[in-house]
Amino acid sequence: MKKSIVFWIERYLYEPDISQRLLSFLLLPLTFIYCLIVWIKYKRAVPFDHGIDVISIGNLSVGGSGKTPLTTALALKYENAAIILRGYGRKTKGLQVVSDGREILCDVLCSGDEAMIYALKVPKAVVIVSEKREEGIKKAKEMGAKIVFLDDGYSKHHIKKLDLLIDVRSKNGFCLPSGPYREKAWSGKKVELLQEGVDFKRAVRIENETENMALVTAIARPQRLDAFLPRVVSRHYFEDHHFFTKEELEEIMKSSKAASLLVTFKDYVKIKDFGINISILDLDLDVDERIFKLIDDYVKGDM
């Protein structure tokens, strides 16, 4: 039931049919109120300098946009880096140090899937989850970080930072609840708008590829994977951040007669200890040097 609702919402936000378009128009009065509240919040915010360079990687819409692989690619280039994120989907609350840059200090239930990706892929970075990002920044400084990468930080207008904003297009151009946009790129707020295919490109590789793979994934808008998929014997989509059980994955392998399960790295971090044969569809990013120059100029104070 939950999965059906999540997928209906994703279609409503990004690929609405006629009835869903009608609903989005009926909700426009609520959208206006929502936008007004968010705009007032933005106008009242006073950016605070935490005494450390903060680079925000964000997007305006709900759902996946490539923030995690982009943040990974950027953070790998810098020494003494910290990555801070909310840790959506984790089973814990409050501030949690996931990695101190030397070892991973908790499991994926504690960290959430995206934070564990960072801990594994950027092993020299401090990784912190915290609903209050300013507390995470303070902790990162205490741990010796010199630069902070803030995952999904555009809306944190009270934090002084460089805003890198991934441009995500939708057939539905409204803000919530009529459309997928959480905010607009507000007039007067300086951002660097990044486009896939221009500022960064995806590089796909498959680890442990087998003849008969069943795709299993729990990412937002899983159809985004279609352009990168090899032949698979079946496809199984779960709601974003779903925590799998070993039993449900074994049943998929049995019913599909699959030799392995093809998963993204975001799925892999949650099932790597299940003892199931896994193939990984890993998406790395090739980032244009212009983006690193933007960051370097910001760090040097030239922006």
Instruction: Based on the fold, state whether residues 176 and 292 are members of the same structural domain.
Output: yes
Q: What is the CATH number of the domain that holds 248?
A: 3.40.50
Q: Are 283 and 301 in contact (CB under 8 A)?
A: no
Instruction: Based on the fold, state whether residues 292 and 188 are members of the same structural domain.
Output: yes
The residue segments making up the domain with residue 148 are 42-199+288-300
Instruction: Based on the fold, state whether residues 180 and 58 are members of the same structural domain.
Output: yes
Instruction: Based on the fold, state whether residues 48 and 147 are members of the same structural domain.
Output: yes
Instruction: Based on the fold, state whether residues 267 and 124 are members of the same structural domain.
Output: no
Q: Find where tokens 């500022």 sit.
A: 199
Instruction: Based on the fold, state whether residues 224 and 191 are members of the same structural domain.
Output: no
Q: Does the structure show a pLDDT above 70 at 209?
A: yes
d(CA 111, CA 96): 7
pLDDT digits (tens, 9 = 90+) for 128-181: 999 999 999 999 999 999 999 999 999 999 999 999 999 887 777 899 999 999
Q: Spell out the residues 6+ positions from residue 244 whose beta carbon is closer than 8 angstroms to its own.
A: 216, 218, 238, 267, 270, 271, 274
* Any domain includes 239: yes
What is the gyration radius of the CA atoms in the chain, in angstroms?
Answer: 20
pTM of the full predicted structure? 0.92
Q: What is the pLDDT of residue 1?
A: 62
* Any domain includes 22: no
Instruction: State the pLDDT confidence band at 221, using cuts at 50, 70 and 90.
Output: confident
Instruction: State the chain's mean pLDDT as an integer.
Output: 93
Which whole number is the average pLDDT over 265-290?
94
Which whole number is the average pLDDT over 110-127?
97
Q: Spell out the residues 6+ positions from residue 47 whose beta carbon is closer than 8 angstroms to its own.
A: 157, 158, 159, 160, 161
